Amino acid sequence: MSLEIGNKAPDFEAKDQDGNTIKLSDYKGKKVVLYFYPKDNTPGCTAQACDLRDHYDALLDAGYVVLGISTDSEKSHKKFIEKHELPFPLIADEDKAVHELYNTWREKKNYGRTYMGTVRTTFVIDEEGKIAEIIEKVKTKEHSNQILK
């Protein structure tokens, strides 16, 4: 199923880097930046996370909660957060259940090779739990500007 602006964001329940349960519905009444990224400690994903870290105060001032999500483990996320001093939680979606809800686990092509993987996508969710924006052409080093524009 393809999600569109105005759709209710699918609720989910998953664990963060510390084993805490994160439920999207717990953030009702807040604006949420839910960003899906391929892999911890890779160049593009690190650039994206660090850009969000560097502009975190501006995102908070604008009323956003930031949640990152990938198929990496809680342990991998914990190391990634510590290494780069990330101030927001990262959700471990190892079984890809949340990725499938948001249609971000799809066939990809790279150097002539076809494989399944995370399509880097950010969903901006409004206070009512509806999708306000979908950013598919993510600029990893300028991602906060794409959100705050």
Residue 111 lies in a domain: yes
pLDDT beyond 90 at 110: no
In a domain, 7, yes or no: no
Whether 53 is covered by a domain: the verdict is yes
- Digit-coded pLDDT (tens) for 11-56: 999 999 999 999 999 999 999 999 999 999 999 999 999 999 999 9
55-102, pLDDT tens digit by residue?
A: 999 999 999 999 999 999 999 999 999 999 999 999 999 999 999 999
Per the structure, how many domains does the chain have?
Answer: 1
Domain extent, residue 75, equals 13-148
Asked if the model's pLDDT at residue 113 lies above 80, the reply is yes
Contact assessment for residue 53 and residue 122, using Cβ atoms and an 8 Å cutoff: no
Question: Which of the following is catalytic: 22, 45, 91, 147?
Answer: 45
Active site residue 50: no
40 closest CA partner among 8, 82, 11: 82
Here the tokens at position 13 are 């329940």
Q: Are 121 and 143 in contact (CB under 8 A)?
A: no
User: What three-state secondary structure class fits 94?
Assistant: coil
Cβ(30)–Cβ(126) below 8 Å: no
Q: Does the residue 8 lie in any domain?
A: no
At residue 132 the predicted structure's pLDDT band, cuts being 50, 70 and 90, is: very high
| DSSP 3-state of 58 | helix
